[in-house]
Amino acid sequence: MPVTFQTSTQTPSIWRHNPVKTGEELLRDSCPDEFPRCKKIFHSSFDKHPPNPTRHITPDPNGLVNALFHAYSSHNHLTLRPDDVWTSILTQLNFYINAHADELRSFFVAHEDREELIVVADEAGTIVDVDVGKMAVQMTTLMQNFVIDEELRSWFLPLFTTTSENDRIVAAVIMMGTLQKYFTYVMVTRCGIPSVTLLGERSDWVDLLAKLEKIHTFGEEPRLFASLLKPVLEAFVASFDHPDAQQTKDFWSKSVHHDAGSGYSHLSGWVTAFCFWDSEGKCLYNRDGLKLSKNVFPRIDTKDIPPAFISVPVKVKDYAAGRFYDTFMVAGLVGIEATSTPSPTKPARLELNTIRPYSGWWMYEVLGEKELEARKHSLQQAAATRRRY
């Protein structure tokens, strides 16, 4: 239990330093070197515990040392937690380790340069919606996979009887900062699907899952393909059984992740299980993406998303017309159909707010070689004209 003891006979003084009212004011006055480059605060510990009349918080760049100093010199009672002392120790170590990063590298990590670590938000939403504090703690779990000391993370993150969620977030960010010469950190938010409707009966989706068994007989790559599809289709069935479960929401939130930047655009998530081969049959699989049920789903360039249709030549002997034709049949998922789902808040207003894959097919007569070349030339010219405008 806590202990209180008297260290002098001085009469305690009243704290007369002014408090701040917002997290922005606290950043401005406590961290004057950081504040000038702050464009906008997305999150802070004050989102959950904002300063208010019952909490009197005075800005200070070193809350431990100066609390001790003021308590001693101005005769204030002092309250300390082990978390406060540990945070002070960690910030000191941060300064030393960053100043001696090269000579300490072999103590902390085995890799060269900086390893990029990526944490994806559990829930869909923008930067202002997701829990970045939680993501910081998750980042330390990724860091542990690359550091030599197996106990480094548990050593960094406090777990005293006084430790709060906020204390562990603070320690996690300090751990990230302490090892920043060895890692770069990326936090990724997810877009989200407002709702999902699985048509048909549960038995249909069970039958679909059962169809994977035959794929295993087609060879090594098809076996891997089926193994990636299995947890996805199992989760489809589970969505019928537990539509409101958090596990179901988590699964659908991991369907798609789009990572884009200057010169690149990558797609990951379990949707890439349906992008195992390109149209030439070349395997696109890699182990760089989402892990789900012991499977790692690939990350692919969006320009490499394979088509979901096929074409096949068919000779038509039209005896009724006395003609033969060279044709192709094309079939697959060749579009996205938009429909309206009434909003609970605006039932009378119908908007195209729901989409589904569109399945279709064609048969067309094949052009002769000369006609084909002329058609290609015409299409190229039309495309060039569109680009100009």
Residues 6+ apart with CB under 8 A from 210: none
- Three-state DSSP class for 137? helix
Residue 130 — very low, low, confident or very high, per pLDDT cuts 50/70/90?
confident
Q: How confident is the model at residue 389 (pLDDT cuts 50, 70, 90)?
A: low
Amino acid identity at 112: E
| Chain Cα centroid distance, residue 183 | 18
Task: Please state, as a whole number, how many other Cβ atoms lie within 10 Å of the Cβ of residue 90.
Answer: 20
Is 316 in contact with 303 (CB distance < 8 Å)? no
Q: pLDDT at position 140, please?
A: 95
pLDDT at 261: 63
**Rg, C-alpha atoms of the chain:** 30
Confidence at 49, pLDDT banded by 50, 70, 90: low
Between 15-29, 78-92, 240-254, 348-362, the lowest mean confidence (pLDDT) is in 348-362
Mean pLDDT within 68-73? 87
pLDDT at 224: 92
DSSP codes joined into one string, 47-89:
GTS---TT------S-HHHHHHHHHHHHT------HHHHHHHH
Q: Is the pLDDT at 386 greater than 90, yes or no?
A: no
* 54's tokens: 């019952």
- What does pLDDT average to over the chain? 87
The pLDDT value recorded for residue 47 is 61
Which residues in 32-64 are b (16+ Cβ under 10 Å) and which e? eeeeeeeeeeebbbbeeeebeeeeebbbbeeee
Average pLDDT over residues 256-262: 71
Q: The tokens of 299 are what?
A: 């990350």
For 143-168, the pLDDT digits (tens) are 999 999 999 999 999 999 999 999 99
Residue 276 pLDDT level (bands cut at 50, 70, 90): very high
- The arithmetic mean of pLDDT across residues 24-40, rounded, is 88
Domains of the chain by residue range: 1-79, 81-190, 202-304, 313-388
- Residue-wise pLDDT for 172-226, tens only, equals 999 999 999 999 998 888 777 888 999 999 999 999 999 999 999 999 999 999 9
Residue 71 reports pLDDT greater than 90:
no
pTM for the whole thing? 0.64
Q: What token pair was written down for 283?
A: 């395997």
Higher-pLDDT residue of 53, 188: 188
What's the pLDDT at 168? 95
Q: Which two tokens stand for residue 46?
A: 């004050």
pLDDT of residue 172: 96
For range 40-69, the mean pLDDT? 80
Dist CA 190 CA 121 (whole Å): 6
The rounded distance, in Å, linking the Cα atoms of 337 and 356 is: 5
332: Cβ contacts below 8 Å, ≥ 6 apart: 307, 308, 309, 310, 359, 360, 361
Q: What is the pLDDT of residue 355?
A: 86
pLDDT digit string (tens) for 357-369? Answer: 888 888 888 888 8
Say whether pLDDT at 287 is over 70. Answer: no
